Structure 1
Amino acid sequence: MKMIDITQASATLAEYTSNLTEEPVIITNDGQPVAALVTLENVDMETISLSTNPKFIALIEHSRARRRSEGGISSSQMRQRLGLNEV
């Protein structure tokens, strides 16, 4: 993973993005990561939007905690309840 301090980031954005297929570029400020340039190959915008949405992340975490504490049903059972055929 390539790391560059924001004060030393003198290359153009195009130069940094040309290497993203190999590894992400982490931009730091005083040694602390503040941003990342990553390839979006095989990633859709909805995934990016949801994965960075704090409300969505909280919803997922709440659902996972509830499943751990209360249990759940298998995907097979869910398909049966919904009247869907097995895949």
Structure 2
Amino acid sequence: MKMIELSTASKPLSAYAEKFNDETVVLTMNGKAIAIVTDIKDIDPESLALSTNPEFLAIIQNAREELKKGKKLSLEEMKREIF
């Protein structure tokens, strides 16, 4: 992972993206991370959209919390619930 301070960047972001290929580039402003530039050539648009959707992320977080609390269904229980 490379870090670039925007106030000192001497090239367009596209030049940095080409230089670092598959590496993630963290853009900083006043030393704080504000954005990343990363390769998405192997990511489908739906996965990208879901990975940044607050509602979807809340659903996933809720499911993880329920699992930690032991709230889960076996495959057989799931089948009975659905069918």
1:25 aligned onto 2:22: no
Residue ranges of structure 1 left out of the alignment (5+ in a row): none
- Is the Cα contact below 8 Å between 1:20 and 1:37 reproduced in 2? no
Residue identity over aligned pairs, in percent, reads 32
Question: For 1:25-74, what per-residue CA distance to the aligned partner results, in whole angstroms no more than 9, with x for missing partners?
Answer: 11101111001000002111211111111121111111221232242123
TM-score by length of 2: 0.78
- Is the Cα contact below 8 Å between 2:22 and 2:39 reproduced in 1? no
RMSD of equivalent CA atoms: 2.1
Residue ranges of structure 2 left out of the alignment (5+ in a row): none
- Separation in 2, partners of 1:63, 1:26: 30
- Is the Cα contact below 8 Å between 2:24 and 2:36 reproduced in 1? yes
The equivalences for 1:1-87 within 5 A come to 1-74=1-74, 76-77=75-76, 80-81=79-80
Q: How many residues align?
A: 82
- Separation in 2, partners of 1:77, 1:42: 34
Report the 3-state secondary structure (helix = DSSP H, G, I; strand = E; otherwise coil) of the residue aligned with 2:3: strand
Q: Report which stretch shifted further, 65-74 or 47-56.
A: 65-74
- Is the Cα contact below 8 Å between 1:26 and 1:33 reproduced in 2? yes
